Structure 1
Amino acid sequence: MHFSIPLMTTPAPSPVPQTLLEAPLARGPGAAPMQRQLHHRFKEAILDGHLAPGSRLPGSRALAEELSISRNTVTAAYDLLAAEGYVQPDRQGTRVATLSRPSPSQGKRNAPAAPAIAHRLTRIQACAPPAEGNAALRPGVPALSHFPLAAWRRAIDRAIRNAGPSALGYGDPPGEPALRASIARHLGIARGVRCEPDQVVITEGAQEALSLCVRLLTNAGDTAWIEDPGYRGAKAAMRTGDLRMVPMRVDADGLIADESDWESQPPRLIYTTPSHQYPAGAVLTVARRLELIAKVQHHGTWIIEDDYDSEFRHAGEPIGAMQGLVRQAPVLYVGTFSKTMFPSLRLGFLVLPETLAAQMRTPLDDMLRGGHRYEQLALAEFIESGQFSRHLGRMRRLYRDRQHALREALTRHMPMTHVIEGGYCGLHLTVRLPACYPDRDIADAARKHGMAPAPLSSFALQPMPEDNGLVLGYGNTSAELFEPLVRLLAKLIRGAKV
């Protein structure tokens, strides 16, 4: 239907464009309501400048008859336009309001400048685009098909049934008391962590816990030591806090901190993964742990202990957390259920030192909002019932077998010089390669074949020549696939040689 809107002659209105209602209004199943369509077309015409300020809209009766729609539909569209401020009703009818419209920037020589983004974002290094969730050899993904989904569904059902509608509202900002108590008990037994439930803060994964540490304990410009190569998420948390990051090298015994470092660039924060360094897999020795704690106590520094993958140790007894070595240690302990349960659960935790927990209660109440309440209650029950421990036991055996299979495949089918690192813990192995095999090129090539190894150099703040290699995840890749995958990967590595 072709239609042009008639206008009154006083005051002199702008001509109504013929295209305003050139296309007929859509009708039938699936079409938007007539009121919404009419409102949208008038709004677009006003914003685009096709209906000038002061232009009078046609009367509701005349427009309804012309369009063969209900007058109430037209009136409702006009009322919404008036409520939003696009038009102004008066005794003579309805006129287009005077608006300041943004100028389109494309194609204009003197286009207005776009608002600037935060300067800190320009310092975030580009990394590979996110891989498909089921891509082979992707680090950091657990064996999702082995998760006891039926048991978890029953725990969720019980949480909903027992808590009822009351859990639909906001919860305690630091998290559900039942889950905080369950985590405190579990950490005391499994990790040697010294804490009470009121020291535990529930977060949306480890990333929010790291960001919370930065917000609670630092000011812009403070110095933070961070392992290098190290976890990219920790770097992102430090950057968003406008911290000055100092890369600290890691050897077979973990983070290296000399006396000269303490004298020349004393930190406010130290980030470390002592039980299983990510991505190299080193274990911070007890001598270095105790020395680090002594130093931070002297300098007034805080340690963030990210207990990455510590639940999955494949040889010997689990290595205890650094947090529990010394009473009242200035250590903030960070953990997550992304690997022990599943990533989309988005539940992690932060254990505050006892001296800090009471001080932070008021800020945390203001900064956090209790959410995911049914999931938190279900997880508390999952832990208390023993399901969580049984699941961890099954996964340890599975990951131990998968790591062994990956090591064997690498030994048989990786002919070029390489060094396998990663210890006997976690969900990944790191393969260091000579610099003549550029790891980023290899990773890009692998993605085209359904694999997602991570380039080791992408984890380094200041990459060294030795920071070249691949981080290979085995958590969500079946053991029988490793031989063909490694053969293909070796072919891609040879092809990338420079």
Structure 2
Amino acid sequence: MTVPPTEFSVSIDRQLQLPIYMQICARFRTAIAAGHLRPGDRVPALRSLATQLNTARGTVELAYTILVDEGYLQMRGAAGTFVSPSLPASVTRSSRTQSARDSNGRQSTKGSAAPQARGESSGVQAAARPLAIAAAMSGEPRPLQPGLPALDAFPVKVWNRLVSHRARGGEREMLAYPDPAGYRPLREHIATYLGLSRGVTCLPEQVFVTGGYRATLELVLRSLARPNDSVWYEDPGYLLARGFLAETGVQLIAVPVDNEGIDVERGTQLDAQARFALVTPSHQSPLGHTLSLARRMALLDWARQASSWIVEDDYDSEFRYLGRPLPALKSLDRHDHVIYCGTFSKVMFPGLRLAYTVVPERAVERVGRVARSMNAGSPTLLQAALADFIERGHFARHLKRMRALYAERRVLIVRALEQAFGERLIVELPPGGIQFAARFTEGPSGAVDDVAVAARAREAGLAVLPLSIWYANGRTRRTPRGLVMGFANIANASEASRLARTLRACLDG
């Protein structure tokens, strides 16, 4: 018996700048949250909804694909498309009013002691490895370097022309001290871009331009952290962020990661009242997993109940090779607990040293005050050139070209690694990003010493990193061993094959 679709009407506004497919996604999410669509309900067929909206079937199909990727819908072939029966309860219940906060924007917790750090033996030891890696990753770019975009494909001539035009203009604003919050037109462009591409609705006043991700973390922690605050940290997680956090004196809580992302339930067991959670939901660093919808809602629920902050590092979400880029965690935030962080290092070039953060409206005044006290403004000349780069369409065109280019280059290196290593290395095509982690299988002598392999690779001129050091307790027997490597700068199949053979020789010693 065929199940009829649920009575459900979708409306769109063609006057809005928001693309139609994103409007459709938003209507479905709202209907599910309000209970108008329930788990197991059948939704209109692609052709039927396209006819109703007088739009192309491909537009509806794109919206449905995104909703399936996010976990809201399930496609069951000829049976149709249904609201996922496994939606978490927090998605389907009605929104509640925001809980009361104290003057610091946090519920008071009586009788609670400062939590002890877990997963790191000492701040000095925690910082040592990331600092060494930071030194290794600076300077001249090297093959297979993680996080490095395709420098050979960046439109240097266009960029130089824009910078030169601003420099020759002699505007006094380019010569004066920069605004600590950022160049206003660039903040406006970032706010518009995030609304259209990441589903993040914000005002330019909420956007703060910084000198890189580390500078973003420093601004956030100086503004919102208190002595001995504890921070959930993904395990494994981004090395350089862990090193900086250890330097600040916060208590690091290593929360394990699986194929659904950070384990929120385990985090609450370790420290339910942590002040911050530092996460990479779109493309977990370094494993590449996407935070599941259930975990996203659980994380947001935890932040609301604990009056804590979630720092979302959306570092290379623009590059997704299976379907459209997924909306940011911030797009689901209804209680203003997510601090969104992005960078131009991965989508432009790292030497630009420009990043940004979007803070909740209630924190704008505090963050602005700290930004002014830090006198942390980035050079106005580069910010203005970047604003021009975005305004004139170069940024959107560059992203489109890079998605296609990286989709090709990731296949080149994966095929080359499979041919060179055979069963000794487990390599999976990453669904997004410009780097991935590959795991060693055990050899005749047991577990592979990935730190030694990476050291030999550096001597051979490669810039791969050992996977084990991304874990809080990286030298235990159970810690996965492997390599983290980038693929954006691999020019062709011949180069990929040569690099893979060089890396294979490093395994053999």
Place the TM-score, normalised by the shorter chain, in its bin: 0.7 to 0.9
Distance 1:421 1:267, change over 3 A: farther
Aligned to 2:496: 482
Aligned to 1:220: 227
1:438 has 2:441 as partner: no
Aligned to 2:461: 450
Aligned to 2:479: 466
Q: Give the 4+ runs in structure 1 shifted more than 6 A.
A: none
Aligned to 1:335: 342
Question: What are the residue-to-residue correspondences of 1:101-180 with 2, within 5 Å?
Answer: 121=124, 123-126=126-129, 127-128=132-133, 129-131=135-137, 133-162=140-169, 164-180=171-187
Contact 1:432 1:466 in 2 (8 A): no
Find the aligned partners of 2:492 and 2:479 in 1 and give their Cα distance.
Answer: 29
Find the aligned partners of 1:330 and 1:368 in 2 and give their Cα distance.
Answer: 26
Contact 2:278 2:310 in 1 (8 A): yes
Share of identical aligned residues, percent? 36
> Displacement of 1:420 after TM fit?
2.3
> Displacement of 1:187 after TM fit?
0.9
1:410 has 2:417 as partner: yes
> Displacement of 1:138 after TM fit?
1.1
Aligned to 1:494: 508
Q: 317, 327, 332: which is aligned to 2:324?
A: 317
Contact 1:437 1:494 in 2 (8 A): no
Contact 1:271 1:305 in 2 (8 A): yes
Contact 1:134 1:476 in 2 (8 A): no
Find the aligned partners of 1:195 and 1:383 in 2 and give their Cα distance.
Answer: 18
Contact 1:434 1:466 in 2 (8 A): no
Distance 1:260 1:219, change over 3 A: closer
Contact 1:229 1:250 in 2 (8 A): yes
Aligned to 1:280: 287
Aligned with 1:466: secondary structure?
coil
1:401 has 2:408 as partner: yes
Question: What are the residue-to-residue correspondences of 1:225-264 with 2, within 5 Å?
Answer: 225-258=232-265, 261-262=268-269, 264=271
Distance 1:153 1:256, change over 3 A: same
> Displacement of 1:358 after TM fit?
3.0
Aligned to 2:312: 305
Query: Greater Rg, structure 1 or structure 2?
Result: 1
> Displacement of 1:221 after TM fit?
1.4
Find the aligned partners of 1:432 and 1:122 in 2 and give their Cα distance.
Answer: 25
Find the aligned partners of 2:261 and 2:212 in 1 and give their Cα distance.
Answer: 24
Q: Give the paired residue count.
A: 377
Deviation by residue 1:30-83 (Cα, 9 ceiling, x = unmatched) = xxxxxxxxxxxxxxxxxxxxxxxxxxxxxxxxxxxxxxxxxxxxxxxxxxxxxx
Find the aligned partners of 2:141 and 2:168 in 1 and give their Cα distance.
Answer: 33
> Displacement of 1:263 after TM fit?
6.7
Find the aligned partners of 2:462 and 2:266 in 1 and give their Cα distance.
Answer: 43
Deviation by residue 1:195-238 (Cα, 9 ceiling, x = unmatched) = 11000000001111012222212123111010011101211231
Aligned with 1:261: secondary structure?
helix
Find the aligned partners of 1:452 and 1:360 in 2 and give their Cα distance.
Answer: 36
Single out whichever of 126-135 and 276-285 deviates more from structure 2: 126-135
Find the aligned partners of 1:423 and 1:396 in 2 and give their Cα distance.
Answer: 13
> Displacement of 1:410 after TM fit?
1.9
Distance 1:184 1:327, change over 3 A: same
> Displacement of 1:120 after TM fit?
5.0
Specify every segment of 5 or more residues in structure 2 that has no aligned partner in the other structure, as ranges: 1-121
Find the aligned partners of 1:308 and 1:421 in 2 and give their Cα distance.
Answer: 20
> Displacement of 1:259 after TM fit?
6.0
> Displacement of 1:166 after TM fit?
3.4
State the TM-score, normalized to the length of structure 2: 0.71
Find the aligned partners of 1:490 and 1:263 in 2 and give their Cα distance.
Answer: 40
Contact 1:135 1:451 in 2 (8 A): yes
Aligned to 2:105: none
Aligned with 2:472: secondary structure?
coil
Contact 2:255 2:266 in 1 (8 A): no
Aligned with 1:125: secondary structure?
helix
Distance 1:260 1:415, change over 3 A: closer
Find the aligned partners of 1:445 and 1:248 in 2 and give their Cα distance.
Answer: 31
Contact 2:180 2:371 in 1 (8 A): yes
Distance 1:237 1:122, change over 3 A: same
> Displacement of 1:266 after TM fit?
2.6
Specify every segment of 5 or more residues in structure 1 that has no aligned partner in the other structure, as ranges: 1-118
Aligned to 1:112: none
Contact 1:219 1:241 in 2 (8 A): no
> Displacement of 1:163 after TM fit?
5.4
1:345 has 2:362 as partner: no
> Displacement of 1:264 after TM fit?
4.4
